[in-house]
Chains A and B, each alone.
Chain A
Amino acid sequence: MSHTLLILILLGLMALAYQLGRRRSLKLVGGSRQVKALHSLPSYYGFYTAIWCGLPALLVLFLWVSLQSSVVRDLVVSGLPDSMQSLPPARLGLVINDIQNLAQGNIVSGEISPAMQAAADHYTRLRQTSQAASFVVVLCIALAGLALGWRFVSPVFRARNRVETVVRWLLVVCSTIAIFTTLGIVLSVLFESIRFFEMVPISQFLFGLEWSPQMAIREDQVGSSGAFGMIPLFAGTLLIALIAMLVAVPIGLMSAVYLAEYAGSHFRAWAKPLLEILAGIPTVVYGFFAALTVAPFIRDNGALLGLDVSSESALAAGLVMGIMIIPFISSLSDDVITAVPQSMRDASLGVGATRSETVRKVILPAALPGIVGGILLAVSRAIGETMIVVMAAGLSANLTANPLQSVTTVTVQIVTLLVGDQEFDSPKTLAAFALGLMLFLITLVLNVVALHVVRKYREAYE
Chain B
Amino acid sequence: MLNVTPNSVGSVAPPAGVVGVGFSPTADDSRVISGTVGDIKAADPRMTARNVDVYYGDKQAIKDVSLDIGKNEVIAMIGPSGCGKSTFLRCLNRMNDTIDGCRVEGRIMLDDQDIYDRKMDVVPLRAQVGMVFQKPNPFPKSIYDNVAYGPRIHGLTDNKQELDEIVEQSLIKAGLWDEVKDRLDSSGTGLSGGQQQRLCIARTIAVAPEVILMDEPCSALDPIATARVEELIDELREQYTIAIVTHSMQQAARVSQRTAYFHLGELVEVGKTDDIFTNPSHRLTEDYITGRFG
Contacts and interface: CB of A to CB of B under 8 A. Distances in A.
Interface string A236-268: 000000000000000000000000000011000
B100 A352 contact: no
Interface string B124-145: 1111001101010111110000
Given A351-B203, A361-B149, A460-B140, A346 B95 contact: yes
Interface in B60-102: 93, 95, 98, 100
A365 interface: yes
Interface in B124-177: 124-127, 130-131, 133, 135, 137-141, 149-150, 153-154
B270 interface: no
Given A361-B149, A365-B140, A460-B140, A350 B100 contact: no
Contact of B139 (A344, A349, A354): A344
B285 interface: no
B95 A350 contact: yes
Contacts of B203: 347, 351
Interface string A213-239: 000000000000000000000000000
B127 A352 contact: yes
A350 B189 contact: no
A362 B150 CA distance: 12
Contacts of B140: 365-366, 460-461
B284 interface: no
Contacts of B126: 349-352
Nearest to A343: B137
Contacts of A462: 189
B204 interface: yes
Contacts of A346: 95, 98, 131, 133, 137
B207 interface: yes
Given A344-B139, A365-B140, A350 B204 contact: yes
User: In which size bucket is the chain A interface?
Assistant: 20 to 34
Residue of A350, A353, A366, A461 with highest tally of chain B CB at under 10 A: A350
A349 B95 contact: yes
Nearest to A358: B153
B135 to A, nearest CB: 6
Contacts of A273: none
A396 interface: no
Residue of A344, A352, A353, A460 with highest tally of chain B CB at under 10 A: A352
Contact of B153 (A264, A341, A352, A365): A352
A85 B46 CA distance: 106
Contacts of A350: 93, 95, 126, 130-131, 133, 204
B137 A341 contact: yes
A345 interface: yes
Contacts of B150: 351-353
A357 interface: yes
B137 A351 contact: no
B242 to A, nearest CB: 15
Given A344-B139, A460-B140, A352 B123 contact: yes
A348 interface: yes
A259 to B, nearest CB: 14
B200 interface: yes
A354 B123 CA distance: 7
A357 B152 CA distance: 11
Interface in A285-323: none
Contacts of B200: 347
Given A352-B124, A352-B126, A352-B127, A347 B137 contact: yes
A327 B122 CA distance: 34
B153 A351 contact: yes
Contact of A351 (B98, B127, B189): B127
Contacts of A344: 137, 139
Nearest to A362: B139
A266 to B, nearest CB: 9
Nearest to A353: B153
Interface in B157-210: 189, 200, 203-204, 206-207
Nearest to A355: B98
Interface of B: 93, 95, 98, 100, 122-127, 130-131, 133, 135, 137-141, 149-150, 153-154, 189, 200, 203-204, 206-207
Given A264-B100, A347-B138, A349-B95, 13 more contacts: A265-B100, A345-B98, A346-B98, A346-B131, A347-B133, A347-B137, A347-B139, A349-B126, A351-B126, A351-B130, A352-B150, A353-B149, A362-B139
Question: 9 smallest A-B Cβ distances: which pairs?
Answer: A343-B137, A352-B126, A352-B127, A351-B150, A350-B131, A460-B140, A347-B137, A461-B140, A353-B153
11 contacts: A264-B100, A346-B133, A347-B133, A350-B131, A351-B206, A352-B123, A352-B125, A352-B127, A362-B139, A365-B141, A461-B140
